[in-house]
Structure 1
Amino acid sequence: MVRGQGEVADLTQAAAEGLTLAEFHAGSYKTTDPAPAPPPGWTIVVDGDTEKSKSGEKIREAAARGRVLGESSNLARELANEPGNTLTPREFAMRAAAIAGDAGVKVEILDERMIAELGMGLLLGVARGSSEPPRLMVFRYDPPGAPAKPLLGLVGKGITFDTGGISIKSAEGMERMKDDMAGGAAVACSMRAMALLKAPQRVIGVVPTTENMPGGRAVKPGDILRSAEGKTVEVINTDAEGRLVLGDGLWYARKLGATHLVDVATLTGACVVALG
């Protein structure tokens, strides 16, 4: 039941999004767990002054918007819940490409050779310690009739598992470091939502994805890397890998013509500096 103060369509959209989010099931890899039952259907009943919404069509459109937003959020949550041994950088790129591509977004996946040709020494430096090769996802949403500018660029962090590298993290709680690709998942699923909702603006998404591992070829504290932009970066702590991969990702978004940038990271102790 939608009831309360405010624009009826806005309330309907919020209700539809909330109901869709409630359908989320984290899934299970347990051998004996049965498959989850399909979510029950739901109906939104509007109780209010529908004249404010001009027509029932506006309310139906609002419910559809909420559904798309909720589904896109749930898809990102599904990706973030995957264990690191199944959601490798290559697998992440394939799944994200399918999610966005099915909505009509153009997707390009750059492999290690193509990343090297772009000179992305920061992304490649972080990837050095892993046996899994990195990937760079590029999403393009270009609706007909949209002006060339502004061009919004979304850049998401896609570290599919973050051990901290040579500056290794504490073992306690490290299992949650599979979550460190949630920023990249948010970008991929946001691109899906914008395409399905027919947003009137051009948008590009860039997601650099790799593992941060302490392998024999891993970047070391004190190493100096060169970014795609040409700037050199001294690595003091290898657990600060997010700003490295995002640095190359932000550069590439600008190279593609982005006039406005939004970066989506996942987790960092540095947020304490800003937020306390």
Structure 2
Amino acid sequence: MNNTLHRIYIGLFFLIGISVTVLLAINGYSYYSTSVEERFFHPQHNLIKPSGSWGHGFGIIGSFMMILGVSIYMIRKRSRRLFNFGYLKHWLELHIFLCTVGPILVLYHTAFKFGGIVSVSFWSMVLVVLSGVIGRFIYIQIPRTIQGREIDITELMKMLNEMSDRLSSEIIFDKSLLDEFSILTSPERYKDFNLLNSVLFFIKDSVRIRKFKRRLIHHLRKAGISKFRFKELKRLVEAEIILTRRIGLLRTMQKFFRYWHIAHLPFAIIMFIIMIVHIIVTIIFGYKWIF
């Protein structure tokens, strides 16, 4: 999948997710904003209530999307036979899409009213989604090949040294700019990084990098280099800063990722167990959809 197709692939996911959320909210706003006691008299009650033809359908489709999203990603990740069947990151993006839109549909299925044991499943689902967002952030901080294999520290240092040699031979910085670049490309600056200061660190670091990039762009434009070389040098500088960060945070992010699995998996198991119980009880009591 080339870059253009990948952008269309991701863009389609965003479009579908946002459209589903907004259209269902607009269509059902009148019903969802009505008090629970008065919903029975609402003209959309038979459609949107959890056992209604629409509400029930939201639950079925949303649950199916979550089950499918988890299953296909786990199978692709663990099966050696499917190792070359598409890039793992594209399967992860599909997993994220299905496991984001699915819970949104389940939320509309509940008509924003949940209690008892089902509420445990719902809040487990919320925690799974939120922890999934955090997990995605941690995942992209760990350098990987295009097939999804983690790159070890030796390979990363080799890549960094090659990139540094190329930059030092192709670009001339002024003294202050060079000093700042040396700091930003030193893995040592991440040695005191920990979970408690991570959010503040990334905010401050992003601001610092953005300021440096503005100064760099101004410097390169004053140098009067060609447009093509300008873009290439800018890309190399950005790549080295990102690679340095990933080298510096590699051990920390790998540790975070292990802890994340410990937190993410139990919530997912609880959610699916209660979901299955809920489906069985629904079938026993004779609730049917459009069949």
* Fold agreement, TM-score > 0.5: no
Structure with bigger helix share is 2
**Which structure has the greater CA radius of gyration?**
2
Structure with bigger strand share is 1
TM-score when normalising by structure 2: 0.25
